[in-house]
Chain A
Amino acid sequence: MKQKDPPWPTVDSKTAGSEDKTPKQKRRREPSLCNQMEQLTDKDFQIAHWVQKMPDLEPPSNLLTSVMQSIQPKKLSWMQRVALWAKSPKSFTFTPLRLAPVAVALIGILFVSGYWIYRQKDLRFYPTQSESQIPIVFNLSIPDAQAVAVVGTFNGWKPRGYEMQFNPDKKIWSLTVRLPEGRYEYAFLVDGQRVLPDPEASLYQDDGFGNENSVMILRTKDEKTT
């Protein structure tokens, strides 16, 4: 409990503010300490030594018992217990054998989550190729365009993954996608700027901004109804 044998100079060094680490701090603090604290004399050291060595009174033998009889076990909520567990110091020992299952589990989790993210991305941006879905062929004759894509309610009006291919022989832009049955609005995005409705569509709907979108209704036995 006590310092074993701190000789007097060591005792003095504590009081003299030896905690100052940097020369800058020393330069700043030394004058104030010198001004405020008179240096300890040999007599002071002797007194400090006596204080250090003076015996303690022994506490009553029944103090421990009386304290322990007066206290009850603490009842903590599970929240406090969790917080306490999280804050308490813990030691972990890792060996390759213990680490192997953890590493395998982590790799598995990473692989599954990576694949799931890849699939989500795939579903979001690229046409699905499920056999239960209906194949739809979009065509647009606009030979002077540099790039054409199909946008609609089925892809969130985002052209990525729905770029049409130009057929130089037929001079048309075309794209085949598979969609589940339902009602869809769509249009063609030409050169990334112009939005054109499908001239071959039989239904149109006002988009609320002064333009029209094409409308198609897909049923299982139909290929495409526009």
Chain B
Amino acid sequence: MDQPDDQQVICAVMNGNVNAYSILVQQYQKPIFNLMYRVTGSYEDAKDLAQETFIKAYEKLDHFRTGARFFPWLYTIGYNHARNFVQRGKSFQQSSDEDFENNSGLDYPSQHEERVLAQIDFLRIYQALDQLPVDYREAVILHYHEGLSMEDIATALQLSVSGAKMRVHRGIKKLREIILGDDHETERSALADR
């Protein structure tokens, strides 16, 4: 996930070049924003939390261990920040299909029929991910979607490596159970309609 020059960018920031930080923000704003959206289900809250995460990371940059990978460290800050937000009693909103409708700004590409079909699959995945406990969901997304190693997931979620492996493995199993459960429900309703 890290580009080879993350360390150099951090050095430049630490030496007073504040503009260099924009490189890191640009590079990681998408996964951090998506993390916040998954946790809050609100576009506005996700934007605010992502912004606060980057500001917090900037303020804590003195404590960043040289040689470590930046993204897992940033993700830990964002993850804890999001959890604190939820614990403070902010209501959690499930992301709805309407969020992803065409021209909403959150829509998926849908010019072709295949894409529409794929979109249905992705929507189902999104809905299933929403039902997954947050710890499992983030482990699954970090591994399969963000491509992080088990070591990096362990760092980001403050787990042992074996704990991270277990989360990913069980997460995908739970996800399957949710999706298959949905499938069975759909089939049952279709049969009932007939």
| Residues of A near any B CB (own CB < 8 A) | 1-3, 6, 11, 14-15, 17, 19, 36-38, 40-41, 43-44, 47-48, 50-60, 63-64, 66-68, 70-76, 80-81, 84, 87-89
Contact with A along B93-122 (1 / 0, CB 8 A): 000000000000110110000000010011
B interface, how many residues as a size bin?
A: 35 or more
20 CB contacts below 8 A, A to B, read: A1-B31, A2-B1, A2-B147, A6-B147, A14-B143, A15-B168, A15-B172, A38-B173, A40-B173, A48-B172, A51-B140, A51-B141, A51-B144, A52-B144, A56-B30, A59-B32, A73-B16, A73-B17, A74-B13, A88-B7
- Given A60-B47, A71-B58, A54 and B126 touching (CB < 8 A)? yes
Q: Which of these binds chain A: B18-26, B74-82, B84-92, B185-193?
A: B18-26
Determine whether the beta carbon of B11 is less than 8 Å from that of A84. yes
**A-B CB pair tally, cutoff 8 Å:** 147
Partner of A14, one of B121, B149, B166: B149
Determine whether the beta carbon of B58 is less than 8 Å from that of A2. no
Determine whether the beta carbon of A43 is less than 8 Å from that of B145. no
Main secondary structure of the interface of B (DSSP, over half): helix
> Closest residue to B170 on the A side, CB-wise?
A37
Does B51 touch A at the CB level, under 8 Å? yes
Residues of B within 8 A of A58 (CB): 30, 105-106
Does B39 touch A at the CB level, under 8 Å? no
Does B29 touch A at the CB level, under 8 Å? yes
- Given A1-B146, A40-B172, A70-B51, A64 and B180 touching (CB < 8 A)? no
